[in-house]
Copies of this chain bind each other. A is one copy, B any other.
């Protein structure tokens, strides 16, 4: 029983790697028409959810280095989708926020994505998908702890 458990959790880890690679390919393909990259899209998403945030805070949320985030922010600012704002808490670290155009763009991208996702995993019920989310969150917490913890 225990062996089966470990083997199933292992199967999850094997399945998610190609899923991540392929979903990045799909998102890249869909974003190309907008002149956006997957990294830029991830930054838009964090700002849509958190509201205005500093570059280091965005990096922490995405588990990515600050330098990469800064590059995405610069590219998004160039397209008029984000803008720098004064940070009331720290004069030297500005807040990055979505512009109205950025808010609208991300909402449209997300609607398109959800519409396409709705039609996937057709053989699975909503309950089964919800269970998968629960398991992935629990496993994700434990793996994250072990990745950062006992170095």
Q: Spell out A's residues near B (CB within 8 Å).
A: 1-13, 15-23, 25-26, 29, 63, 113-118, 120-124, 126, 128-140, 142-144, 146-148, 151
Known A23-B143, A129-B135: A114·B18 in contact at CB below 8 Å: no
- Asked, given contacts A124-B138, A126-B4, whether A22 binds B144 with beta carbons under 8 Å apart, the answer is yes
Complex CA distance for A144 and B15, rounded to whole angstroms: 11
Instruction: Give how many copies assemble into the complex.
Output: 2
Q: Which residue of B lies closest to A115 (CB)?
A: B6
A10 to B41, CA, bound (A): 14
Give Cα A13–Cα B140 distance, bound, in whole angstroms.
12
Q: How far is the CB of A126 from chain B (nearest CB, A)?
A: 5
Q: Is the CB of B138 within 8 A of A9?
A: no
Q: Per a CB cutoff under 8 Å, which of B11, B22, B143 touches A147?
A: B22
Distance between Cα atoms of A134 and B20 in the complex (Å): 16
Smallest distance from the beta carbon of A97 to chain B beta carbons, Å? 21
Name A8's contact: one of B10, B63, B130, B151 (CB within 8 Å): B130
Given contacts A17-B20, A143-B26, contact A6 B121 (CB under 8 A): no
